[in-house]
Structure 1
């Protein structure tokens, strides 16, 4: 039987912990057997949960030593740095070949232990910038549901953590078993790790006083028009090569990637706050054609403009697709 240890840290987020507890515990093989033995463990016999209550925990850090999979849920930033015994227990688990996965801000725990250095990783979109800032050796991918590096996996929020757990079940026992587990949890199995989180980040920060600030403002003011790399570089007074290098250094993105996200952000705002048809929004955000708009919006946001408007439109009223 595959042993799964859920590592609860101080101020653990209950939703992040409940998803892996539930899905692994409810998984059944075709003959009805449960393939996973799930244990909740912690450094201390009692941990505080984010939300004002405490949890009694039946297993200590030694449970990580014989676990086949360790899942680290997110915890509140108020919990502070992870203790050295927890970090060392995680390092020993990885050295022994144990699969280790994190949910949401649990990625910070893995990063503090040095387990994400040189790897791709994700976390909740709201914390992705902080993860990248604090751990520059980690390649943070803020726009995906989860990242599978083989032995080490990371996921975004609690729902994405459930997607990641179903992905691991599919790896272990095949799609039919994973689909049955998904039905038990009343969630779809179809969401893949590379699908974008259902939100686009705010404009990436740049250092105060940066030479890029006027250029970024000009780009946002001209989204409805053609904006080329040459025009951006000329606006900044740099060569295209120098501008591209400086832009990546200060934003972590290429100019054209930043432009695409700025256009998507404009489109999201219009979908949420106007009844303009998609054809008009495509022009206002600078996508050129509705077809290009739909394709690029889905690639970045993970859903269609129509579905996004249905979920987030600020006022009642049908909108043209």
Structure 2
């Protein structure tokens, strides 16, 4: 049976984010069934110059395995969530996974679902959100927060990130990469990545580190020292490090570790290569180093990750 995803469109919903769950999960119709509802089954206005009509009311939420709350324009509805939100959320069955995108976190917080829990929303909403919901452990500097049964994400494109993260969690890296290719988006941006970068676009005359990043990804099994990367980019060490951080939002060393961990996860999912071989394939000096970095990233050992993924694959089959 397909995993049932219900998307709750609230008054003032942003059309772009409303379409994200269908675009991402709908790429796998054999695995996800995506339906949209409103609190009362009637049309709702959007943040744009049109309204939307749906086929379902909040009763749909009682049957969902995952519920997604897209953002809504707070300027249209005021500080309180739209009418009927609390009653709609109360229909979500125990054990269902709940996801908010951007200001959708306000609806969850108002219902008390985020009290004492880590969460995020758009960084511009930080002061207002903290004033209204001081009991939420808000982190405005990340793309999304996965707290198990409740996930919250930042603005706009981070909704794509959190939905891809769920596909990856449910069905592995290869499937998530397939969905990302179909959607023509990056396959993976870690939830802990910064929401915004101070200088995201370099000056027109400035060289980019993109070619060097692609070059490095093809050579993850090699040491790849910083001076070697800078040399490939034709920059001084200081210029390269500064330009890299401006474009990517993290240091070259931290970025390399993340890419190596990601590649290791793919290899763990794809077959039965020994951990020592995988460590060598992705550029970690020892299997102990791989274990350390994988545990820091996802909290489990390589063997435990492989067992969990393979058990999930058997269950899917």
Instruction: After TM superposition, give the deviation of residue 290 of structure 1 in Å.
Output: 3.4
Which structure 2 residues correspond to residues 94-105 of structure 1 after superposition, within 5 A? 96-105=94-103
Q: Indicate the SS of the match to 2:35.
A: strand
Deviation at 1:133, TM superposition (A): 1.9
Q: Cα distance, 1:124 vs. partner? A: 1.1
Q: Distance between the aligned counterparts of 1:270 and 1:86, measured in 2?
A: 39
The equivalent of 1:56 in structure 2 is 53
Query: Greater CA deviation, 84-93 or 108-117?
Result: 84-93
CA distance in 2, matches of 1:196, 1:132: 19
Aligned equivalent of 1:191, options 189, 192, 198: 189
How far apart, in 2, do the equivalents of 1:140 and 1:297 lie? 25
**Is 1:22 aligned with 2:26?**
no
Match of 2:69 among 47, 67, 72: 72
**Runs of 4+ residues over 3 Å off in structure 1:** 268-275, 289-304
Alignment RMSD, CA only?
3.1
Distance (whole Å) between structure 1 residues aligned to residue 246 and residue 97 of structure 2: 32
Whether 2:31 is the aligned partner of 1:35: answer: yes
- 1:4 counterpart = 2:2: no
| 1:163 counterpart residue number | 161
How far apart are the structure 1 equivalents of 2:138 and 2:247?
A: 18
Q: CA deviation at 1:187?
A: 0.6
| In 1: Cα distance, 2:17 partner to 2:114 partner | 20
Distance 1:54 1:269, change over 3 A: closer
| Alpha-carbon distance in structure 2 between the residues aligned to 1:136 and 1:292 | 41
Alpha-carbon distance in structure 2 between the residues aligned to 1:12 and 1:297: 34
- Using the alignment, how far apart are the partners of 1:270 and 1:41 within structure 2? 38
User: What does residue 130 of structure 2 align with?
Assistant: 132
1:157-199: CA deviation from partner (whole Å, max 9, x where unpaired): 1210000000011111111111111111001112111111124
Q: How many residues align?
A: 221
5+ long unaligned stretches in structure 1: 29-33, 201-267, 276-288, 305-321
Q: Which of residues 105, 108, 120 is equivalent to 2:106?
A: 108
Structure 2 residue matching 1:87: 3-state secondary structure: helix
CA distance in 2, matches of 1:292, 1:76: 40
For 2:34 and 2:250, how far apart are their aligned partners in 1? 32
* Cα distance change on mapping 1:15 and 1:302 into 2, 3 Å: farther
Query: Could you tell me the TM-score, scaled by structure 2's length?
Result: 0.62
Describe the shift of the 1:62–1:132 C-alpha distance in structure 2 as closer, same or farther (beyond 3 A).
Answer: same
Taking the aligned partners of 1:150 and 1:3, their CA distance within structure 2 comes to: 18
Aligned mates of 2:23, 2:89 — CA distance in 1: 22
Structure number, greater radius of gyration: 1
From the superposition, tell whether residues 127 and 40 of structure 1 become closer, same or farther in structure 2 (CA, over 3 Å): same
Matches of residues 201-216 of structure 1 in structure 2 within 5 Å?
none
SS at match of 2:59: helix
CA distance in 2, matches of 1:129, 1:15: 24
Q: Show the counterpart of 2:86.
A: 87
State TM-score, norm by structure 1: 0.62
Name the CA distance, whole Å, in 2 between partners of 1:103 and 1:177.
22
Flag structure 2 segments of 5+ consecutive residues without an equivalent: 207-236, 253-317
Task: Confirm whether residue 290 of structure 1 aligns to residue 238 of structure 2.
Answer: yes
Of the structure 1 ranges 81-90 and 97-106, higher mean CA displacement relative to structure 2 is found in: 81-90
Deviation at 1:291, TM superposition (A): 8.4
